[in-house]
Amino acid sequence: MGCSAFSKKNMKTKILLPFTIVSFLFIFFILYVGLNRSNIYIPETVTNEKIPTFKVKVFNSEKELTSKEIFENDIYYLLNIWASWCIPCRDEHPYLMELKKNKKLEIVGLNYKDKVKNANNFLNELNNPYTLILSDTDGTIAIEWGAYGVPETFLIYNGKIIKKIIGPMNNNLFKEIERAVK
């Protein structure tokens, strides 16, 4: 009995201990690397990737549009995925309001997994930068775009994605978009 208890203890130590130590070392490593990273979001540039084709409901209405109809004109489009519950979306909102003033650019919002009431409140409170808002209640359209979460922004020209911004916009990215659209 004493012997079996001993071997049990031994087993526990032999397997569990290295496993636990390795797991914690892994966590330490991740946190250590994370610490030295800047908190500024780095944009990922995707050049000349075609926009996905899809059909989507317009926010606050029953109308349905296809991706072709939405991005048909010969101007730049900015597709911004947002939600009222997303706090970083509030941070980037002033940039979108600034970009709205740019006549060569049209901002299309994709309202992601949101309640209509909350989304409307969000826009009432912070103003509406979008010329058109699409509604993605179940999040499938965002998947079509290969989005990771909210907020995410795509700069589109001639049916192609020129630039993809993961996470909220910041001053540098804002200027970059202004330059690209010029």
Partner 1 sequence: MASLIGSYSLFFSLGFSVLILFFSFKNLKNTINFDNKLLSLTFLQLLFIILSFFGLIIAFINSDFSNSTVFNHSHTTKPLFYKISGTWGNHEGSLLLWLLVLTLFIFLFLISSKKQPKKYRVLTLLFQQIIIIGFLIFLIQTSNPFAQIYPVPSEGLGLNPILQDPALAIHPPILYLGYVGSSIIFSSVLAASSTNYISKEWAKHIKQWILISWIFLTLGILLGSIWAYYELGWGGFWFWDPVENVSLMPWLALTTLFHCVLVLEKKLLLTSWVVILSIATFTLSMSGTFLVRSGILNSVHTFANDPERGLYILIFLFTLIFLSLFVFFFFHKTDGQNNTSFFWLSKETSILINNWFMMYFLAVVLIGTIYPIFLDVLTSQKISVGPPFYHKLIIPFLIPFLLAMAIGPKLNWIKSNLQNKSHLLLLFAISLILSFLIIRILEISFLVNTILFTSAFYLFFITLRDFFIKGFKNLAQNIAHFGFSLLILSILFNNFLSSEVITNLKVGETYKSDELTINFEKIEKIKKQNFEAIIGKFNVKSDNELVDILKPELRIYNQPNIVTSEADIKTNLLSDKFMTMNLVQNQEYFNIRYQIKPFMIWIWFSVIIISFGGLFSFFKKKYEN
Element (H, E) at 144: helix 140-144
Closest to partner 1 by CB, 40 vs 180, is 40
Closest to partner 1 by CB, 2 vs 63, is 2
Angle between helices 87-100 and 171-181 (to 10 degrees): 30
Q: Closest separation between CB of residue 121 and partner 1, Å?
A: 5
Closest to partner 1 by CB, 9 vs 55, is 9
Q: Closest separation between CB of residue 118 and partner 1, Å?
A: 10
Q: Closest separation between CB of residue 5 and partner 1, Å?
A: 4
Q: Closest separation between CB of residue 74 and partner 1, Å?
A: 32
Closest to partner 1 by CB, 31 vs 103, is 31
Distance CA 110, CA 139 (A): 10
Binding site for partner 1 (CB under 8 A): 5, 8-9, 12-13, 16-17, 20-21, 24, 28, 30-37, 39, 41-42, 44, 83, 85-88, 113, 121, 124-125, 148-151, 166-167
